[in-house]
A and B are shown apart, each in its own frame.
Chain A
Amino acid sequence: MKTKYMNPYLAGFFLGVVLLATIFITGRGLGASGAIKSVVVATVDGVAPSHAENSQFYSTYVGPGKDNPLKSWLVFEMAGVVIGAFISGLVSDRLKIVTEAGPRVGTRLRWMFAALGGALFGIGAQFARGCTSGAALSGMAVLSTAGFVTMMAIFGTGYAVAYVARKLWL
């Protein structure tokens, strides 16, 4: 039997304390999409180093005198996220290989839309310089204008298109 989720306000408070500790200790916020970018940049650099160095985008992160993109704060933080989430799943008995989908959606379709949603997040997070964690949540904590703008754009658009996509979830 699965354990119940934590009260959301309590979980939010705990998450806020982790974010506050991050800001207090390191002077920066939490993030997620930056780690995904680092993995992509490192892979491109490994497979086609000359392509990476000649590209306007990748060359900002790789090249002579620059650290391996995987040796970045967010990559280590996301490694921690994997561990932390796994521990949480373990103690709450939620470890299970399963596909979760809306009641009217088959497994294949769910996978396709999940990958599509991920791709859109990958692109959008580059334009916004961060995703829900790095730009919206961490930005709001330090009262950055970008944080609030990104948050409203994400959720505003989400509500705007939710009706069209209702068959995926309802």
Chain B
Amino acid sequence: MGPFVPEVISDQLNLVVALILGIGFGFALEQAGFSSSRRLAGVFYGYDFTVLRVFFTAAVTAMSGVLLLGYFGLLDTDAIFVNPTWLRPAVAGGAIMGVGFVLGGYCPGTSVCAAAIGKIDAMFFVGGGLFGVLAFGEMYPLYHGFYESTPLGSIKIFDSLGMSQGMFAFLLIVIAVGAFAGTTVIEKRVNKKSAPSLGFSTRNHLIAGAGVVALGIVFIFLPDRKTHIIDRVSNPAYLSTHPVKLMTADELAFRIVDHEPRMRIIDIRTPAACAKLALPGSSNIQVRDLFGKDWITMLSQRHVKKVLVADSEPEEHAACLLLEKLGYENIAALHGGLDAFNATIMNPSAVIPAGTRWDTDVFRFRETARKDILAMIEKNKNGGSKEIKKVKKIQGGC
């Protein structure tokens, strides 16, 4: 499952990969005609819409590929770099670049391409770019505050617009194909003699456009893989027909105070809830993260029992079924959830079901277990949690 950095491809090898992908990037840009400033500027005057065609086709192709690879589980879309949004600086920076595009006739990537095939104006553009970054760096304190303003994190456009991922993908495709058709009409009117679109075969382009829109319609119905699987295993009807092993609160308490080495507790509650109070030695993992690579080593130890805990049993049950679906074994859910655990073990006034001759023993066991567990939690607090998840996020951006 992609991406392969950093697990499969080391940081060093990644630089070689960068060079090879860069060759493809440069070749594609030059073949598209992006090494000509007059061609690039044409998009703003209607005589040549090559930029729009290449740019939107590339964006739609890559986006469709990411969605499809994600759906088939070949690419972990939660692990890829999503450019974080700083809203106001993004708008201001984009506006400055827009002026630069019209005046200079290039953008940084295309200017390097054009310079590589000998365009002198592109070399001036690259030189200007170097000067621009230097000027920005030297005057940085003046606008440092603005530069860091309105940080919104790695948000996604479909969330910002309040629609589903698939619906957004469909709309983007429709807008792109509509823009292709509309700008071709404009281009032929503005540039009667040498419009690039004069040479296009109308029939072939219509077929291709229809094909892309059909793919867009598929996207509307294409769910996000992780959400889809989680929804399926959380369905009450599915839960009732797929039982999992249960561990009683007493057994879990016994194993905790016994320091059982062949058991790991996985707490799927929110980090905030776990920060308040969590069982000693437990690992806090969000359900969506169970798909990822970070926990494979721990989860695939077959001789270690993985006990899932959450506030209620159905949440644990669904997470257990998800783990089974992902191919992991030796999984159990805490019977009755943490609610039951808190009510029986952690509550000193818990009622012991009367009537059996073990009542006093049960009471004494729970009394001791509670004290031990509280002591263990206290000790972990002072000594710091031993389970610190190392997060090695992929870095990207310019």
Contact B83 A129 (CB under 8 A): yes
Contact A157 B99 (CB under 8 A): yes
Q: Which of A11, A85, A98, A155 contacts B112 (CB 8 A)?
A: A85
Closest CB in chain B relative to A166 CB, distance in Å = 7
CA distance A169 to B56 in the complex (A): 23
Contact A142 B53 (CB under 8 A): no
CA distance A113 to B102 in the complex (A): 9
Known: A95-B117, A122-B132. A127 touches B57 (CB 8 A): no
Contact B109 A140 (CB under 8 A): no
CA distance A102 to B41 in the complex (A): 10
For A126, list chain B residues within 8 Å (CB): 93, 133, 136, 147
Tell me if B216 counts as interface (CB < 8 A to partner A). Answer: no
Tell me if B328 counts as interface (CB < 8 A to partner A). Answer: no
Contact A116 B121 (CB under 8 A): no
Binary A-proximity of B6-49 (CB < 8 A = 1, otherwise 0): 00010000111111111111111111110111100111110000
Contact B37 A118 (CB under 8 A): no
For B295, list chain A residues within 8 Å (CB): none
For B59, list chain A residues within 8 Å (CB): 16, 137, 140-141
Contact A12 B61 (CB under 8 A): yes
Closest CB in chain A relative to B212 CB, distance in Å = 10
Contact A157 B83 (CB under 8 A): no
CA distance A84 to B394 in the complex (A): 26
CA distance A121 to B101 in the complex (A): 7
Contact A26 B53 (CB under 8 A): no
Residue of A nearest to B101 (CB): A158
Contact B80 A28 (CB under 8 A): yes
Q: Which of B89, B94, B111 contacts A118 (CB 8 A)?
A: B111
CA distance A87 to B31 in the complex (A): 10
Tell me if B5 counts as interface (CB < 8 A to partner A). Answer: yes
Contact A89 B30 (CB under 8 A): yes
For B131, list chain A residues within 8 Å (CB): 115, 118-119, 122
Interface size class of A (residues with CB under 8 A): 35 or more
Tell me if A22 counts as interface (CB < 8 A to partner B). Answer: yes
Tell me if A165 counts as interface (CB < 8 A to partner B). Answer: yes
Closest CB in chain B relative to A26 CB, distance in Å = 5
Contact A33 B104 (CB under 8 A): no
Tell me if B292 counts as interface (CB < 8 A to partner A). Answer: no
Contact B98 A155 (CB under 8 A): yes
Known: A13-B61, A146-B86. A24 touches B3 (CB 8 A): yes
Q: Is the interface of A mostly helix, strand, loop or mixed?
A: helix
Known: A5-B31, A77-B22, A158-B101. A169 touches B38 (CB 8 A): yes
For A81, list chain B residues within 8 Å (CB): 22-23, 25-26, 29, 109, 112-113, 116
Contact B83 A117 (CB under 8 A): no
For A1, list chain B residues within 8 Å (CB): none
Contact B22 A83 (CB under 8 A): yes
Tell me if B100 counts as interface (CB < 8 A to partner A). Answer: yes
CA distance A115 to B129 in the complex (A): 7
Contact A114 B54 (CB under 8 A): no
Closest CB in chain B relative to A111 CB, distance in Å = 5
Tell me if B137 counts as interface (CB < 8 A to partner A). Answer: yes
Contact A145 B152 (CB under 8 A): yes
Tell me if B385 counts as interface (CB < 8 A to partner A). Answer: no
For B80, list chain A residues within 8 Å (CB): 23, 27-28, 142
Closest CB in chain B relative to A144 CB, distance in Å = 4
Binary B-proximity of A1-44 (CB < 8 A = 1, otherwise 0): 00001111101111111111111111111111110110111001
Residue of B nearest to A162 (CB): B44
Known: A76-B22, A85-B113. A120 touches B96 (CB 8 A): yes
For A76, list chain B residues within 8 Å (CB): 15-16, 18-19, 22
Tell me if B302 counts as interface (CB < 8 A to partner A). Answer: no
Contact A128 B93 (CB under 8 A): yes
For A97, list chain B residues within 8 Å (CB): 118, 120
CA distance A39 to B36 in the complex (A): 24
Q: Which of A6, A17, A27, A119 contacts B3 (CB 8 A)?
A: A27
For B79, list chain A residues within 8 Å (CB): 27
The 23 sampled A-B contact pairs (Cβ below 8 Å) are: A11-B32, A14-B31, A18-B25, A18-B28, A31-B397, A40-B130, A57-B137, A88-B117, A99-B120, A102-B41, A119-B128, A121-B97, A121-B106, A122-B136, A125-B93, A125-B133, A129-B86, A131-B398, A135-B398, A139-B83, A149-B91, A150-B93, A158-B101
For the complex with contacts A9-B208, A131-B97, 8 further pairs of A-B residues with Cβ separation under 8 Å are: A15-B57, A44-B137, A80-B18, A86-B117, A118-B125, A118-B131, A124-B98, A145-B159
Residues in chain A within 8 A of chain B (CB atoms): 5-9, 11-34, 36-37, 39-41, 44, 55-58, 71, 73-74, 76-89, 92, 94-102, 110-162, 165-166, 168-170
Residues in chain B within 8 A of chain A (CB atoms): 2-5, 9, 14-33, 35-38, 41-45, 50, 53-63, 65-66, 69, 74-75, 77, 79-87, 89-122, 124-138, 140-141, 144, 146-147, 152, 154-160, 165, 168-169, 180, 196, 200, 205, 208, 394-398
Q: Which 7 A-B pairs have the closest CB atoms?
A: A117-B104, A122-B132, A80-B22, A153-B94, A16-B61, A118-B128, A12-B57
